[in-house]
Amino acid sequence: MAAEPVNLNEFQELARLALPKMYYDFYAGGAEDEHTLKENVEAFHRITFRSRILVDVSRIDLSTTILDYKISAPIIIAPTALHKLANPEGEVATARAAASCNTIMVLSFTSSSSIEEVAASSNAVRFYQLYVFKKRDITATLVQRAERNGFKALVLTADTPRLGRREADIKNKMITPPLKNLEGLLSTKVSSDTGSNFEADANETMDASLSWKDLEWLRSITNLPILIKGILTREDGKIKAPSDDMTIKAVEVGVAGIIVSNHGARQLDYSPATISALEEVVHAVKGRVPILMDGGVRRGTDVFKALALGAQAVLIGRPVVYGLAAKGEYGVRRVIEMLKDEFELTMALTGCPSVKHITRKHVRTEQERIH
């Protein structure tokens, strides 16, 4: 393979060569049979284009606006854990790459660089991803730190009452370093005799009782907009709680956006590919709040397909970590730039001079081909 990768998939191979097996497996792996892991990518392959011809595409505008922040393309960095396992500069390098590509970085709750280090490292627009711990005051402290350090929104990951069963980590007895942001706040004990300490720690600390009503609690401790990550059904897209009144209430308590996600296929295997679940949620939400999606985005054509099916932007997880592992900050920048270049070409070849021109009619799903 050429030393300089020409697409995102080639970065994965470089990352595999650069990383100890335990860490590569941690990044690359999914839950159980990894059925959803494969589907996240393959479901994109089953969608084809309906291109228009003879449209003036001599100038293409990829830019878009997410929660009032103008970014260079609808491609955002997803929250992924522990970037220092990929590169000693960790999330600081990722944030710098986000800034130079003029996009948003969502910093993971389980980051290896601190909130303060990441904030000081660049002027990237940053969102902060949250897990809610049994000890609520720990989550509240981190929310306040994110707010104080200029993070612009919270992303509540709602698909992780317990950690999914990642068998590679169990086999490798994956040991994770202590989390920088939790220093002095939490002492987790390593119990890796039977599996990964990541799983054991997460299951011990995560609040599995978290429910819709807790959004009000979250809203009460912050002024930041809150996005919910991990929605896969129309029922949850409607933010449906026990009654219809609650539906409106949930929006009122601060949901600023939805991220259709199956956690990169790391939680429940045999969840649908996110690109297959996207439209169901889009129809239910009816434009009340912006919808983003992640899972399996590896090509500019994938970005286009997600937008055509109703997403305002996509997030990318693994490719960012692979870029970081292979070539540090430069690698992350290249991953985003390559995806942007491919997306721009897709727009040109489908006849879409700006993201507003991308419509449902520019793609054909598998069901539409059969009928």
- Exactly one of 317, 328, 331, 351 binds ligand FNR (CB under 6 A); that residue is 317
Q: Is 195 in the site for ligand FNR (CB under 6 A)?
A: no
Nearest residue to the partner ligand FNR, using Cβ: 317
Chain position carrying tokens 């720990």: 138
Q: Is 283 a catalytic residue?
A: no
With CB under 6 A as the rule, give the number of residues binding ligand FNR: 24
Site for ligand FNR in 328-357 (CB under 6 A): none
Cβ atoms 182, 138 nearer than 8 A? yes
118 near ligand FNR, rule: CB under 6 A: no
Q: Does 276 bind ligand FNR (CB under 6 A)?
A: no
Q: What mask of x and - would describe binding to ligand FNR in positions 135 to 174, judged by CB under 6 A?
A: ----------------------x-----------------
User: Closest approach of Cβ 354 to ligand FNR, in Å?
Assistant: 25
**Residue 63 to residue 280: CA distance in whole angstroms:** 26
The 10 Å Cβ neighbour count of residue 3 is: 7
Closer residue to ligand FNR (CB): 29 or 351: 29
Long-range contacts of 129-132 (CB under 8 A, 24+ apart): 129/79, 129/154, 129/155, 129/156, 129/157, 129/229, 130/154, 130/155, 130/156, 130/157, 130/218, 131/157, 131/160, 131/206, 132/156, 132/206, 132/207, 132/210, 132/214, 132/218
| Residue 90 within binding range of ligand FNR, rule CB under 6 A | no
Looking from the CA of 292 toward its CB, the CA atoms found within 13 Å total 25
Is residue 323 part of the contact set for ligand FNR (CB under 6 A)? no
Would you say 40 or 351 has its CB closer to ligand FNR? 40
Among 36, 176, 196, 261, binds ligand FNR (CB under 6 A): 261
Catalytic pick among 35, 45, 83, 263: 263
Q: According to CB under 6 A, which one of 24, 44, 109, 151 is a site residue for ligand FNR?
A: 109
In the chain, alpha helices (H):
8-18, 21-28, 35-45, 90-100, 115-121, 136-148, 167-172, 197-205, 214-220, 234-237, 244-252, 274-285, 300-308, 318-350, 366-370
Sign of CA pseudo-dihedral 237, 243, 244, 246: negative
- Decide: is 291 part of the binding site for ligand FNR (CB under 6 A): no
Out of 8, 31, 66, 78, the residue judged to bind ligand FNR by CB under 6 A: 78
**CA–CA distances in Å: residue 298 to residues 70, 90, 123, 247:** 23, 22, 26, 34
Question: Which of the stretches 93-101, 194-202, 213-221, 289-297 binds ligand FNR when contact is defined by CB under 6 A?
Answer: 289-297
Q: Based on CB atoms, which residue is closest to ligand FNR, 129 or 365?
A: 129
Distance CA 39, CA 202 (A): 26
Using a 10 angstrom Cβ sphere, with 0-12 exposed, 13-18 middle and 19 or more buried, the burial of residue 189 is: exposed
Helix (H, G, I), strand (E, B) or coil at 75: strand
Could you say which of 90, 225, 272, 296 contacts ligand FNR (CB under 6 A)?
296
Nearest approach in angstroms of CB 352 to ligand FNR is: 23
231: left (phi over 0), alpha (psi -120 to 50) or beta: beta
Minimal distance, residue 180 CB to ligand FNR, in Å: 13
Q: Indicate the helix (H) or strand (E) that contains 153.
A: strand 153-157
Is position 362 an interface residue for ligand FNR (rule: CB under 6 A)?
no
Residue 367 C-beta: closest distance to ligand FNR, Å:
23
CA–CA gap between residue 294 and residue 291 (Å, rounded) = 10
Using CB under 6 A, which of the segments 76-84, 96-104, 141-149, 215-223 binds ligand FNR?
76-84
Q: Which is nearer to ligand FNR, 263 or 327 (CB)?
A: 263
Considering the complex, what minimum distance in angstroms separates the CB of residue 169 from ligand FNR? 10
* Catalytic site positions: 263
Contacting positions for ligand FNR (CB under 6 A): 27, 40, 78-81, 108-110, 129, 157, 229, 261, 263-264, 266, 294-297, 316-318, 321
